[in-house]
Structure 1
Amino acid sequence: MALAVTSSSTAISGSSFSRSVASSDSKALQICSMRLSDRTHVATTLSQRRFSMKPLKESWVLRASTLIAPEVEEKEVEVEDFEKLAKKLEDASPLEIMDKALEKFGNDIAIAFSGAEDVALIEYAHLTGKPFRVFSLDTGRLNPETYRLFDAVEKQYGIRIEYTFPDAVEVQALVRNKGLFSFYEDGHQECCRVRKVRPLRRALKGLKAWITGQRKDQSPGTRSEIPIVQVDPVFEGLDGGVGSLVKWNPLANVEGSDVWKFLRTMDVPVNALHAQGYVSIGCEPCTRPVLPGQHEREGRWWWEDAKAKECGLHKGNIKEENGVADSKPVVVQEIFESNNVVTLSRGGIENLMKLENRKEPWLVVLYAPWCPFCQAMEASYIELAEKLAGKGVKVAKFRADGEEKEFAKQELQLGSFPTILLFPKRAPRAIKYPSEHRDVDSLMLFVNLLR
C-alpha cells in the first residue's frame, strides 16, 4: 500500500520514500561502524587545526570587545555658576538678560505672567526674536480686568498662555471648612498656599527655569536683594531635587517708574485696573488701590501688617541677616492724637461693652498705627471728634493689633483695619460701620441716625 504526502500537486510514492530512508540508515550505520583508530585520527586532526589557527589582530579583538561590552566614557558635567553669572549681568539691560535666559534654556523655560507689569517681560521676550513660553496661575479669584488682559496679550503676541489651576478638591475643602473669605481672619497664607503656591509647584516641575517680574524696589523689606539669576531656593524643576530649577529676574534692578515708561513707549496692553489706582495686582478680594504716597505693595493684603506682603511664591528671596529673616520691630508713630479722642484700654472697652444704658453714645475706631488706611482716615476722624465735642457723643480709639487682635476679632467684630463701632445709648451690642467711605459727612450721618 502506498503512503502519499501531498503539497500542491506534488506526491511522493511510498516506495521512493522507503528507499530514501534506507539510504540514510545505511550511511548512519557506516559512520557508527568506523573503527576506533579512525575516530581517534579524525579527532587528532581537528585538534591540530584548531590550535594552528593564526591569532586575531589586536584591532579586531578590541572591536569585538566593544561590540560585546561597550564602555561608556564618563564626561564631567559642567555646572553653571549662576552667582558668577548674576554678577556678570548686573549692568545688563532686561533685553540682554531675557535673551541670555531664552538662549540657555530654550523650551525648558517659561515666563510667569500675573497680568500686571509682567507684560513687560513678554514684550522683552518678543523683542529677542526667540520662541518663548508663558504660564499663569488662575486662582479663580482674579479681577475681570485681569482676564481681559490675558486675552489681549494672547492676541497681541500670537501666543497661548499656559494656565495652571488650583486643585479643585483642595479649594472645596478650604471653602467648606472656613468659608469664602477666611483669609481676612486667619491670614492669607493658607488660601495662597492652596490657590497659588501648590499650583505653581506643579507647573515648575515641568521646567528647568522660570522668569519672574520681581524688582528690588517692589518690597524693600523682602525683595531688596533679588539677584538677576539664581538657583531657585524654594522650588524644584524638571530633574527634581535641590538646585534643579533656575530663576531669572530680568527686571531686578529696574525701578517701577522705568517699567511704566517702557510699557507706554512700546504701547503694549496693560491691566485696566492700573488707571483706577491699582499698582500691584493680585486676587480681587486681596487687592486695593493705593493712596497717594503709599508704596505699591500696600494695596496687597491691606488688612495686615505692612511688613507681611508676600504670598509664598517668592519667599526664598526674603532678605536675611546672619541666616535669620529680618524681624526688627518697626517703630511707628501713634495716630488719632487729639484732646477730643479718648484712648481706651482693654479694661475700658470691656466696661463699655457691659453697659446697657449708657449716658451717651460712643464712637470707637479699632485701629493699628501702622495701617495705611487708618492713617488715611486720621484727619477726618479728628475733625469728626471736634464737631461732636460738647454734643453728647464720645469719640474714642482702641488699638486692636498685636496681643489685642484676637480679642478684637472675637468680641468687637474686627475684620480689617480700621473697624468703626458705634455704642448707642440703649443698645446692648455695638453697631459696626459698614461703609468704606470714611469722610466726615458719612461718619456724621451714621452717628446721627443711630445714636
Structure 2
Amino acid sequence: MALAITSSTSIAFSSSSSSSSCTEQGFQLSSTKFPHSDRLHLVSPATLNLSRKRSGSVKALNAEPRRSDTIVPSAATVFAPDVEVKPVEIEDFETLAKDLENASPLEIMDKALQKYGNDIAIAFSGAEDVALIEYAHLTGRPFRVFSLDTGRLNPETYNFFDTVEKHYGIRIEYMFPDSVEVQALVRTKGLFSFYEDGHQECCRVRKVRPLRRALKGLRAWITGQRKDQSPGTRSEVPVVQVDPVFEGMDGGSGSLVKWNPVANVAGNDIWNFLRTMDVPVNSLHTHGYVSIGCEPCTRAVLPGQHEREGRWWWEDAKAKECGLHKGNIKEETVNGDGNSEVHANGSGSDIFNSNDIVSLSRPGMENLLKMEDRKDPWMVVLYAPWCQFCQAMEASYVEFAEKLAGSDMKVGKFRADGDEKAFAHQELHLGSFPTILFFPKHSSRPIKYPSEKRDVDSLMAFVNALR
C-alpha cells in the first residue's frame, strides 16, 4: 500500500498487491525511496492524527458489488480539518436486537444495509444462506457478498458460486488462505490431520484467518446463523450483536457488528422461501447435504438426523463450530457429580430414563470390559445429556430397550462426558456422542455400532446379526 501525504488537507490511500508497509496496528512508512512523482512532504503529527480520526465520519460509497482480493474498499479519501468532527454515536445493540426480535428477515436486512451501506457485506458459504442474498436483492439496495474459498470445497459448491453471480448480476469477493500457512500445515501434518487431532487447526488456517482479514475492512457483516442449526452453540443467537470475536476497520473490541437476519427462522421456512422465490441452490442439497462446508469434513445426513451432524461427524456435538462463530459457544459448567456439561436446552436433566435401561457407573463399565465369558450380551450407549443427537435418539433407544425386556439381552447407558470422557476415548472407542457398543456373550471386546441409523429396526437388525 503506497501512502502519499501532501501539503494539502487530504490524505489518499490506494491499494496494491504489495502492502507490506501496512499493519493491523496502523500505517508504517516504508524506508523505500519514493520516485520523484511520489515525493513525500511531511506534515505535523497533530495533522496526521486528526486525519486518521476523521476517517470514521466519512459516509461510505454505495458502489455496486465487485470482485477484489480484499474486502477493504479499493479507494478512499479523507479530508481535514475544514469539516467539523462529530462525536461517534454509541448505539445500544442489545436494545436494537430486542426491537427487531419480531421483525421479518427482509426488514432486518433492509435496516442493516441502510445503516452501513458499503461498509457491510454478506458472508456466503454456498449453502442455504443464499436466502440472505435474495433478501438483500429484494430490498433494492446495493449490497456486497464475500465468501471464504478454503481450497477444499466441493466442485458443486464452486459451480453454485458461478450460478449465484450470474443470477444476481454480482461479483462475490473471495478470500483465500495464506499459501505459506497452508503449505506449512500440510507438509508438517499431512492432508487429513483433522481426522486425528480435530478440525480447529485446519479451520483456523483456511477459514478463520482469511475471515479476520476480510472483516478488518468492514464495520458490520451479515451471517446466515439460525438458532435451530445447532442447539448446543447457536440457541441464543440475536438478530444483531456486537461481534464478540472479530474486529472491524476501526480496530479494537466492539468495532464490528454482526447481523443475523434469519436467526429466528426455522430451517423448513428457509427452504419454503427459497422454493417460492425460485432461488438457485447448491446441487449437493438434493443428495442429502444440508449444512455444507469443506468436502473432507462434510457428508450427507440421513432422514431424521440433525443438519449439523453432517459436519465434522467424528467429533463431539458441542465442537461443531469452525471458529467463525465461536462467540456463540457457551461456557461449560460443572454439576454436582463432577461431570461438565453444556446446558444447551436449559435443562440439566438426564436422558434415556427407563426401567428397561440399566444406568452403568465407571466401575460397572470396567467390570463389563473385564468379563470374557458373559452370561448375557449387552448393548450400551455412551452419551452426554446435553448432546442434541443423543436427545434425538432417546425415544428409539427406550423403545428398543422395551422390546428386549425379558430377553437374554441387557440394555444399558453410560454417561461418557466430563471426567469419564478420557476413559471412554481410551477404552470404549468413543468418537462422538452418541456411540453405541455391543458386548457379545463370549468376547471381551465390544463391537461398535457402525451406522448413523438409530431407529428401532436398525438397532434390532444389528443386535440380531450378532446374537
TM-score tier, shorter chain, comes to 0.5 to 0.7
Closer/same/farther in 2, CA of residues 387 and 119 from structure 1, 3 Å limit: closer
Matches within 5 A, 1:173-252: 177=189, 180=192, 182=194, 189-215=200-226, 222=234, 224=236, 226-228=238-240, 231-251=242-262
Instruction: Report the TM-score when normalising by structure 2.
Output: 0.64
Tell me, yes or no, if the aligned pair for 2:317 and 2:432 is still in contact at 8 Å.
no
Closer/same/farther in 2, CA of residues 186 and 342 from structure 1, 3 Å limit: farther
Question: 1:422: how far off?
Answer: 2.7
Q: 2:173 aligns with which of 162, 165, 168?
A: 162
Question: 1:201: how far off?
Answer: 0.5
Closer/same/farther in 2, CA of residues 190 and 270 from structure 1, 3 Å limit: same
Question: 1:367: how far off?
Answer: 2.4
Question: 1:387: how far off?
Answer: 5.4
Deviates more, 1:330-339 or 1:271-280: 271-280
Partner SS, residue 408 of structure 1: helix
| 1:122 and 2:133 correspond | yes
Question: 1:169: how far off?
Answer: 4.9
Closer/same/farther in 2, CA of residues 168 and 248 from structure 1, 3 Å limit: same
Partner SS, residue 281 of structure 2: coil
- Structure 1 partner of 2:371: 355
- Structure 1 partner of 2:325: 314
Tell me, yes or no, if the aligned pair for 1:419 and 1:433 is still in contact at 8 Å.
yes
Q: Which amino acid aligns with 1:337?
A: S
Tell me, yes or no, if the aligned pair for 2:400 and 2:460 is still in contact at 8 Å.
yes
Matches within 5 A, 1:19-30: none
Tell me, yes or no, if the aligned pair for 2:308 and 2:320 is still in contact at 8 Å.
yes
- Structure 1 partner of 2:30: none
Tell me, yes or no, if the aligned pair for 2:318 and 2:387 is still in contact at 8 Å.
no
- Indicate the RMSD between aligned Cα atoms, in angstroms: 4.2
Closer/same/farther in 2, CA of residues 371 and 144 from structure 1, 3 Å limit: farther
Q: Which amino acid aligns with 1:330?
A: S
Tell me, yes or no, if the aligned pair for 2:351 and 2:391 is still in contact at 8 Å.
no
Question: 1:417: how far off?
Answer: 2.1
| 1:330 and 2:347 correspond | yes
Partner SS, residue 420 of structure 1: strand
Please identify the structure whose Cα radius of gyration is greater.
1
Partner SS, residue 159 of structure 1: coil
Question: 1:331: how far off?
Answer: 1.7
Q: 1:76 aligns with which of 81, 85, 110?
A: 85
Tell me, yes or no, if the aligned pair for 1:303 and 1:371 is still in contact at 8 Å.
no
Q: 2:431 aligns with which of 411, 415, 440?
A: 415
Q: Which amino acid aligns with 2:418?
A: G
C-alpha separation in 1, matches of 2:396 and 2:269: 35
- Structure 1 partner of 2:279: 268
Question: Among the aligned pairs, what percent are the same residue?
Answer: 72
Closer/same/farther in 2, CA of residues 338 and 140 from structure 1, 3 Å limit: farther
Partner SS, residue 385 of structure 2: coil
Question: 1:123: how far off?
Answer: 1.8
Question: 1:424: how far off?
Answer: 3.0
C-alpha separation in 2, matches of 1:317 and 1:420: 29
Question: 1:156: how far off?
Answer: 0.9
Question: 1:355: how far off?
Answer: 2.8
